[in-house]
Structure 1
């Protein structure tokens, strides 16, 4: 059998090639305000965007309005005076002849018709949207999927006004330069740890990829100086989601790291989903300048912790103290006070430090106990947004607000979700992981159901905004979504700049396997293994089908031979936070090898059990 082999350009390269092509096309013509150049989806991954380009004889300002289905759906922006105009168009409707009005500072007007294609079936349509145009205005609610769906943005009527064709992972955050930070679509290791994060303009152009040797998961946070806190891990040591790094915004270099194993014991305080591999499961990070500290959410210890930014030392823990050593409870845990209701949070997400020092989080409530005998079944459970007031001198805690408990099981998410603080009394609560299996509310992440069972799952995601405890907005979508973020499509700082994006940081050197077993020559690799090899700009990827537990080594044979152990037994992740990277075939294996530290010509072979097979592929690295 001839192994399938293909070279792949990075999305940054593909976008640069596309950009060069449309710029060359534009430069060939004489495009004016009355007859501008229009390019739909110029950067290939955001179908409801376009770019309008033209020249004017004298500098002039410009205003743009993408017409809504009704006037309240209009999306407008303005641009400073220029003679070379490069105007991004956001908020187009899918499958529609969109009307886009351009008005110069002189008052001259042009109306363009921009026809878009129908949205992908991955773009889920809301089953419910309840708000008013007066309240929601021209905001867009963005959601990033954990089940089969697209990252998308919805307006006040529930119409899709932005989506991407890439399988983005985890949170979307707008940063100081107006661009977005989001996890890459490039899988580093299962089930969902990706190569890093993208910095992307709303038009879909990726300006930077920040690669992390241990991979990225869950969350990122922009510091005041622009540097980035990114959640990661050190895979060779056998644990995941228990480290944090500070990344230089300009170079991608790791400036500082924090290892939670130095602050916490790994074998106590476990939630119902904890195992030794994923003992903490860090799903959120927040830097607080006032206290120069980091607040972290550890799902698998039912704990929101705070550590010193400089030293990494533990400052305090919010969580049920049952099961923790008494000396840690006495020193770091809070005692509930106050006359109102109080519930501890369990398997929480998205911790936020508020301006007054209060802590908000999404309390998933999964199991809602530390002892198995007391676990609460999903049908009797609840999830909620919660706000705690803490006194770090007296080590006291008071619950001052919550929303969701009163909705019971229909609002229950075993995993994912977030809260957002807009202003006092003005919050978002996103229960994005609701699921029903055979009519019963799921007591494990719905994305864990595979095969025939998956067909019995009904997914839901409920996003709510409240103002002074009045529900001002609610949207429900028939899929699971990690987080919801309300954003404007246009940001003045998000200025399109031409040129190729940057690959920053490094994937590191892939760990090698040094004990090579004896193997008989087996000839060409058998077709049953369905082996495919891909060569990207910074790594090589093996895709194949192996039975569980088979011994597989990937070998690069050149002047020096490099051998890599390919895992064929998948860990049973109890917190499948993103299921969009899962293959339908449980035997499917994807294994990347970083090109860092490799140079020269290599013949690729595979040792599978007791035989060594040739692939017929030779690569130059």
Structure 2
């Protein structure tokens, strides 16, 4: 063969090999389903935010009537079965798989209809272990779940749980006063997870993709998750709020409107479709000319684009100088601001007067005088209901920014608010006498103290409040173990300005073991006509914690939270699940009931 022929042959062979390698490479990069799989391949954690989810792709198939069952991991486990709307399958680009077990070879069954034929296939998939972040004081990878009791008709329950704790990367950014900065410095790894009634974690949020302590927009505690009408999750986090599907698809991320900062505690969708957020105001000019950042005292309403619709400035609506409740607090327990050095010390007038401006409890704008931790929107009169921990009050405020009623002891409220105070009555309508500190003659009624969450129950015409119980009767007990927390339900007559207590749980049933100095929730569940309560910070100060009796021992800083659900009106739990901390001073924040069918519609 001549030299030119050899060269041409070599070039042809080279092109042939190159061409085959290109096509082989392209084909090899494309994922393929395992042999025998009737649909497409499986994508683990399709949006990177929810590691215990997967997606079965369609590979060109058109399917309908989809049902998924994630099978139990053992004889004591709980199988999850849910339906997926046809449009959701198209939206996801496949069949969404929710509720996989961590570090386990999962088995799940997908049933569907295709070309009029019913089909089914069993899939297997290995998942990674739980990783919600780690710190040096941690002894377990996640909070420790122990199921104490579940009635048969509640075994299908799924509970979302929100914990808060810091890690070594938290809070490198802060502003306001360096001795008492705003909520921005309260940063930590997101602790969102879902458990079943066997105590297994079936979902958690990836802390590394949804939080970044080094960036202004993505730092901050992830708190106040609520489920929206369209079945998605909305929550607040530092300087913004997020909306995400249960599959981990980040639907939207919004910064707070320009004049507001430091969102925490609550992000909730109202019946009008807008989002209500507890925030603070930046560069706020006080009456005496000071320029401050306010603390946990602004309620903002935004639409789904993040545009500001309205706001409630509590500094002008309420009285930032009222100190009756503040003087009764255990100074060591101020929700996010937990300071062991002050635990057991009852706040004094000198403390309030000398407090630096910033996130420390004290009177006057620029200090944590209100500490609002929940918001409820009442569509019947276009108003909001707030829980104010540092006023030990639940307050209803209209769109016109006028107070409609106050559920609180009367001490310290100025003349302007005296006719707004609700008057306690018995079940048969008789007045109950209470002194100005809120101690009442009839023991079937008590106010709520340093409350967390106040939510309407439209089905019953009532209001639920989680009564944390610090500063009860505007004081501290002689012994710490006299403290208790309650889930409580009130019936309010706005026309006659009266309030009746109709149900409580925790005072007698749990006592000090359920005392949760901060956080927690109670919320009515219409689907089972029940009350779900989470005593989220029980055990925070240990066996000896509290006023005048703090002692550091092996129990201090190790939360033993309690999640219960009751049939309506009962005090014997249908569900009790104990959730212990996995890290020093990590604490539960809230819990919610999760309904997979509604979140995958």
Residues in 1 aligned to 2:533 and 2:164: alpha-carbon distance in whole angstroms: 17
Tell me which of 146, 155, 180 is aligned to 1:127.
146
Residues in 2 aligned to 1:344 and 1:144: alpha-carbon distance in whole angstroms: 27
Residue 158 in 1 paired to residue 205 in 2? no
Residue 77 in 1 paired to residue 82 in 2? yes
Q: What is the CA distance between 1:165 and its match in structure 2?
A: 2.5
Residues in 1 aligned to 2:321 and 2:504: alpha-carbon distance in whole angstroms: 30
The answer for unaligned runs of 5 or more in structure 1 is 1-23, 185-193, 495-621
Q: Are the aligned partners of 2:53 and 2:96 in contact in 1 as well (CA < 8 Å)? A: yes
Tell me which of 281, 293, 299 is aligned to 2:389.
299
Tell me which of 7, 27, 30 is aligned to 1:28.
30
Q: Which structure shows the higher strand fraction?
A: 1
Farther-moved stretch of structure 1 (337-346 vs 68-77) = 68-77
Residue equivalent to 2:561: 461
Give CA deviations for 1:272-300 in whole Å, capped at 9, x if unaligned: 34413001111011011112211111100
Residues in 2 aligned to 1:422 and 1:74: alpha-carbon distance in whole angstroms: 22
Give CA deviations for 1:480-502 in whole Å, capped at 9, x if unaligned: 211110112343655xxxxxxxx
Residue equivalent to 2:296: 241
Residues in 1 aligned to 2:27 and 2:47: alpha-carbon distance in whole angstroms: 15
Higher relative CO (Cα under 8 Å, sequence separation at least 6) belongs to 1
Residue equivalent to 2:375: 285
SS in 1 for 2:592: strand
TM-score scaled by length of structure 2: 0.69
Cα pair distance change 1:25/1:388, threshold 3 Å:
farther
Q: What is the CA distance between 1:384 and its match in structure 2?
A: 0.2
Residue equivalent to 1:367: 471
Q: What is the CA distance between 1:360 and its match in structure 2?
A: 1.3
Tell me which of 234, 239, 242 is aligned to 1:195.
239
Q: What is the CA distance between 1:63 and its match in structure 2?
A: 2.2
Residues in 1 aligned to 2:268 and 2:274: alpha-carbon distance in whole angstroms: 9
SS in 2 for 1:435: coil
Residue equivalent to 2:533: 429
1:152-551 to 2 correspondence within 5 Å?
A: 152-166=193-207, 169-184=222-237, 194-212=238-256, 213-237=260-284, 238=292, 239-249=294-304, 251-268=305-322, 269-271=324-326, 272-273=328-329, 274-276=361-363, 277-309=367-399, 311-325=400-414, 327-328=415-416, 330-338=418-426, 341-355=444-458, 356-370=460-474, 372=475, 375=477, 377-406=479-508, 407-423=510-526, 426-437=530-541, 439-442=543-546, 456-467=556-567, 468-469=569-570, 470-479=572-581, 480-491=587-598
Residue 144 in 1 paired to residue 162 in 2? yes
SS in 2 for 1:108: strand
RMSD: 2.9
Residue equivalent to 2:108: 100
Cα pair distance change 1:364/1:25, threshold 3 Å:
farther
Cα pair distance change 1:27/1:295, threshold 3 Å:
farther
SS in 2 for 1:107: strand
Cα pair distance change 1:27/1:199, threshold 3 Å:
farther
Farther-moved stretch of structure 1 (48-57 vs 202-211) = 48-57
Q: What is the CA distance between 1:30 and its match in structure 2?
A: 6.2
Q: What is the CA distance between 1:232 and its match in structure 2?
A: 0.8
Q: Are the aligned partners of 1:418 and 1:429 in contact in 2 as well (CA < 8 Å)? A: yes
Residue equivalent to 2:333: none
Residues in 1 aligned to 2:55 and 2:546: alpha-carbon distance in whole angstroms: 44
Cα pair distance change 1:312/1:145, threshold 3 Å:
same
SS in 1 for 2:38: coil
Give CA deviations for 1:96-149 in whole Å, capped at 9, x if unaligned: 1000112232233221111012223442221344213x3224331111112368
Residues in 1 aligned to 2:373 and 2:262: alpha-carbon distance in whole angstroms: 14
Q: Are the aligned partners of 1:123 and 1:163 in contact in 2 as well (CA < 8 Å)? A: no
1:10-29 to 2 correspondence within 5 Å?
A: 28=30
Give CA deviations for 1:496-521 in whole Å, capped at 9, x if unaligned: xxxxxxxxxxxxxxxxxxxxxxxxxx
TM-score scaled by length of structure 1: 0.67
Q: Are the aligned partners of 2:422 and 2:498 in contact in 1 as well (CA < 8 Å)? A: yes
Q: Are the aligned partners of 2:108 and 2:124 in contact in 1 as well (CA < 8 Å)? A: yes
**Equivalences, count:** 451
Farther-moved stretch of structure 1 (148-157 vs 256-265) = 148-157
Q: What is the CA distance between 1:33 and its match in structure 2?
A: 4.7
SS in 1 for 2:537: strand
Q: Are the aligned partners of 2:39 and 2:61 in contact in 1 as well (CA < 8 Å)? A: no
Q: Are the aligned partners of 1:129 and 1:158 in contact in 2 as well (CA < 8 Å)? A: no
Cα pair distance change 1:81/1:368, threshold 3 Å:
closer
Larger radius of gyration between Structure 1 and Structure 2:
2
Q: Are the aligned partners of 2:467 and 2:485 in contact in 1 as well (CA < 8 Å)? A: yes
Residue equivalent to 1:113: 124
SS in 2 for 1:94: coil
